[in-house]
Structure 1
Amino acid sequence: MAEPSTRRMGFFTDTTVCIGCKACEVACKEWNDVPDDGFVFRATSYDNTGALGADTWRHVAFIETGDRWLMSSDVCKHCTNAACLDVCPTGALFRTEFDTVVVQADVCNGCGYCVPACPYGVIDRRERDGRAFKCTMCYDRQLGGLEPACAKACPTQSIQFGPLDELRVRAQERVERLHAEGNTDARLYGDSPDDGVGGAGAFFLLQDEPEAYGLPPDPVVTTKDLPQMWRWAGGAALAMTGAVAACFLRRR
């Protein structure tokens, strides 16, 4: 068995070769023992699971446009600057040695702070017990030198796993090849370290604007103003303490 890498690992999802088979969804549920869901007939799409959530860590979206189908296997982005980590009060969320972001279910207290903190709307709480769940990038498999279950099961290599720096080079070459073939709509999403979350550990090759896939065009770390807010709060607390002390001294 291969030794696990300590380089930053990630996902590159090439939506141009996704066939919508949902093998990744099934493999994720099987390996991670994620509860079943998606049995509600929506009558608006062939997509039975609907969206990422506590019980859907990989979600294959079926997007019907005027002249084509767009299919994409969405997942947690494992952000470089992860707001969910900033707001978690128990340490249930932590960054692994592979630079991925994982929730420890046995430490989560169900406070839900991470849910609105995620700029992609990935994290969700399970109705059964209120705890938060999301993709772990198969942390246990990585520790054993194995690739995540979704990438292993993907029959078209739409989901690719490996060192993030290598995936970025591979993705850029793929975009250039598609452009040369006339697919000028092809673009990368989440690959740039200069974006609002410092780059994603799971990035995508799209064939349309991010909004078509339900992705925010300009994601921003929701806690970016947190240090300044704490300074303001600290200053306000000191001012309040001083005012109370002054009133007490005057009354004496």
Structure 2
Amino acid sequence: MGFFTDTSVCIGCKACEVACKEWNQLPADPPFEFTGLSFDNTERLSASTWRHVAFIEQRKPADSGDQGTAGLRWLMASDVCKHCTDAACLDVCPTGSLFRTEFGTVVVQQDICNGCGYCVSACPYGVIDKREDDGRVFKCTMCYDRLVDDLTPACAKACPTESIQYGPLDELLPRAAARVQELRQDGVADARLYGHDPQDGVRGNGAFFLLLDEPEVYGLPPAPKDTTRDLGSMWRHAAVAALTLACGIATAFVAGPR
């Protein structure tokens, strides 16, 4: 199961943010301040914000063909944990606090999280965050407690434009591909999918997106990679280096002073 977020129909209402906070009883964010990011006051995903609606203002040439004028385009997108297929956070968790559910999603069990923070640095998207007053990490669960009762996640349920769609990934993926083709036929040449490819650095995401510009514009890494992919070879190299050092020390000790 997963999310398909079609940013082309997001209206920036933040209903998903509010529904997520309400259902999961998340603490309030610090007092809102001017961030310089249009109407985006939460700025990013965090331990207390599991859905984040970004507002991106762009100056674009006017459609009239007059290159001397420019129009304002707003890109709005609701971001969330990607629930990676190759989830580095799972690999580095020493307590088993992070686990893969029967729905294919990744969830943190707060009752056994020791607050080590390994998962925070391992996440290629910078999603997982620690509450400093609590010490544990938190992130989107895709409303696991709703899924087990066959209910739609709160954010998707609240979205008035169906920008956030929830369902089996094998149904969402062809629907998303068809939507991209529709937009391109309508002249939206920059429409593209992000996080859908099982051949990418995390073997695809459980939450993928239709974007109208480069991923970097939305604050997303262009080529995310499982940060633990090279751990095996790194440990092997470390073991060889340690063995070589131990042999060198032993040889020096046996030889002794002359």
Whether TM exceeds 0.5 here: the answer is: yes
Instruction: State the identity %.
Output: 70
Number of aligned residue pairs: give it: 244
Matching residue within 83, 89, 93 for 2:98: 93
**Residue 183 of structure 1, CA deviation:** 1.2
Q: 1:38 to 1:14 in 2, by over 3 A?
A: farther
Corresponding residue of 2:13: 21
Counterpart residue number, 2:51: 58
Partners of 1:162 and 1:174 in 2: CA distance: 16
d(CA) in 1 for partners of 2:247, 2:87: 36
**Kept after mapping to 2: 8 A contact 1:38/1:50:** no
1:48 corresponds to 2:41: yes
Please give the residue correspondences for 1:150-229 in structure 2 after superposition, counting only pairs within 5 Å: 150-229=155-234
Cα 1:38/1:129, change in 2 over 3 Å: closer
By how many angstroms is 1:234 displaced?
2.3
**Contact 1:39/1:49 (<8 A) preserved:** no
Matched residue SS, 1:171: helix
> For the residues of structure 1 that align with 2:191 and 2:205, how far apart are their CA atoms?
18
- In the alignment, is the contact (CA less than 8 A) between 2:35 and 2:41 conserved in 1? no
What is the RMSD of the two structures over their aligned residues, measured on CA atoms? 1.6
Q: Secondary structure at the match of 1:13?
A: strand
Partner of 1:237: 242
Structure 2 residues without counterparts, runs of 5 or longer: 60-71
Aligned counterparts of 2:138 and 2:218: Cα–Cα separation in 1: 22
After TM superposition, give the deviation of residue 63 of structure 1 in Å: 0.7
The C-alpha deviation readout for 1:44-90, integer Å capped at 9, x for no partner, is: 12111110000100000011111210000000001111111111111
Q: Taking structure 1 as reference, are residues 38 and 16 closer, same or farther at Cα in structure 2, changes over 3 Å only?
A: farther
Task: Specify the SS of the correspondent of 1:170.
Answer: helix
Q: Which runs of 4+ in 1 moved over 6 A?
A: none
Aligned residue identity for 2:92: V
What letter matches 1:50 in structure 2?
Answer: E
Shift of 1:237: 3.3
- In the superposition, the TM-score normalised over structure 2's length comes to 0.90
> In 2, distance between residues paired with 1:32 and 1:246?
61
State the alpha-carbon separation in 1 of the partners of residues 222 and 242 from structure 2: 38
Q: Which amino acid aligns with 1:13?
A: T
Aligned partners of 2:99, 2:247: CA distance in 1, in Å? Answer: 38
Q: Which amino acid aligns with 1:59?
A: H
Higher CA-based Rg: 2
User: Residue 180 of structure 1: CA displacement?
Assistant: 1.1
